[in-house]
């Protein structure tokens, strides 16, 4: 069953077509990767799904309901959260506080209720803190919950972003180049984390340039080139697709990069 569906989605910026008539389905419980050269439109697809951009044409549906007109915070509340290419943390806040910010979209108390500090509000705060701690434990960061985010290593900061995205209990997690800047050991840890997240029932939609990671964890791969989908299939099918090889890196470089 399709959890997320993009139907003939197009977006234009002036005379530039960034995404062109994209049809794509994300199935419940899978890891789907979206790959392509720099500038192919991959992050734009994520921005369309999360409401940062509105499609010029086409429709995006989640659980059978259109996402058109919903602001970003509402889409997150519906069950789609994401990370970004560039780390976006509150560096002067603690690790715990960074995750609690992500947890608050599941809170029910309004601003006036929050200021009253009534028992119900205090109970909700305790629950949010417990869920934040669980998210940190899942990502191996509970021992650093009181440290400021800026003091974490690069790989830990990446994991903290994922913890913040997970604490709201999403149905779909969008990971935008999560391995960017990581060393091989950190990438190996990341691959295990992504599998663990999927095993909890969260569907993963991944944009990534590291082909070893993509081929190692993805169940399906879609390929964009100049905003158009040029291929979709199993990793083995994408690896052997001549159009992908030519569009992505040219000649035989794609295969050699995958093997590394």
Task: For residue 260, name the pLDDT band (cuts at 50, 70, 90).
Answer: very low
The mean predicted confidence, pLDDT, of the chain is 88
DSSP 199-217: HTT-EEEEE-S-HHHHHHH
Confidence check: pLDDT of 251 > 80: no
Per-residue pLDDT at 30: 96
Task: For residue 249, name the pLDDT band (cuts at 50, 70, 90).
Answer: low
Q: What is the CATH number of domain 1-79+172-260?
A: 3.40.50.300
Report, in angstroms and rounded to the nearest whole number, the Rg of the chain calculated over CA atoms.
19
What does the domain layout of the chain look like in residue ranges?
Answer: 1-79+172-260, 90-169
**Using CA of residue 123, residue 125, residue 126, residue 127, what is the dihedral sign?**
positive
Mean pLDDT of 205-212: 93
Task: For residue 106, name the pLDDT band (cuts at 50, 70, 90).
Answer: low
Q: In what order do the strands lie in the sheet with 172-176?
A: 80-82, 172-176, 203-207, 31-35, 220-225, 228-233
Model confidence pLDDT, tens digit, residues 5-47: 999 999 999 889 999 999 999 999 999 999 998 889 999 999 9
Model confidence pLDDT, tens digit, residues 120-146: 556 767 888 889 999 999 999 999 999
Contact 4, 64 (CB under 8 A): no
């Amino acid at each position: 069953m399709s959890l997320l569906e993009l139907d003939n989605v197009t977006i234009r910026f002036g005379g530039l077509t960034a995404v062109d008539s994209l049809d794509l389905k994300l199935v419940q419980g899978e890891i789907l990767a979206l790959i392509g050269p720099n500038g192919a439109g991959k992050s734009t697809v994520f921005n369309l799904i999360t409401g940062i951009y509105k499609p010029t044409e086409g429709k995006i549906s989640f659980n059978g309901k259109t996402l058109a007109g919903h602001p970003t915070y509402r889409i997150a509340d519906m069950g789609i959260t994401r990370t970004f290419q560039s780390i976006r943390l509150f560096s002067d806040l603690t690790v715990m506080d960074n995750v609690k910010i992500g947890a608050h979209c599941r809170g029910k108390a309004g601003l006036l209720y929050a200021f009253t500090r009534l028992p119900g509000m205090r109970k909700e705060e305790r629950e949010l803190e417990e869920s934040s701690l669980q998210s940190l434990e899942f990502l191996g960061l509970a021992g650093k919950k009181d440290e400021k985010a800026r003091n974490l290593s690069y790989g830990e900061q990446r994991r903290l972003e994922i913890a913040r995205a997970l604490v709201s209990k999403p149905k779909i997690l969008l990971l935008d180049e999560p391995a960017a800047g990581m060393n091989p050991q950190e990438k190996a840890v990341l691959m295990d984390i992504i599998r663990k997240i999927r095993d909890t029932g969260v569907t993963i939609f991944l944009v990534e340039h590291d082909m070893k990671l993509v081929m190692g964890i993805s169940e399906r791969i879609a390929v964009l080139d100049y905003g158009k989908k040029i291929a979709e299939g199993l990793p083995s099918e994408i690896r052997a697709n001549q159009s992908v090889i030519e569009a992505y890196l040219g000649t035989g470089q794609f295969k050699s990069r995958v093997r590394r």
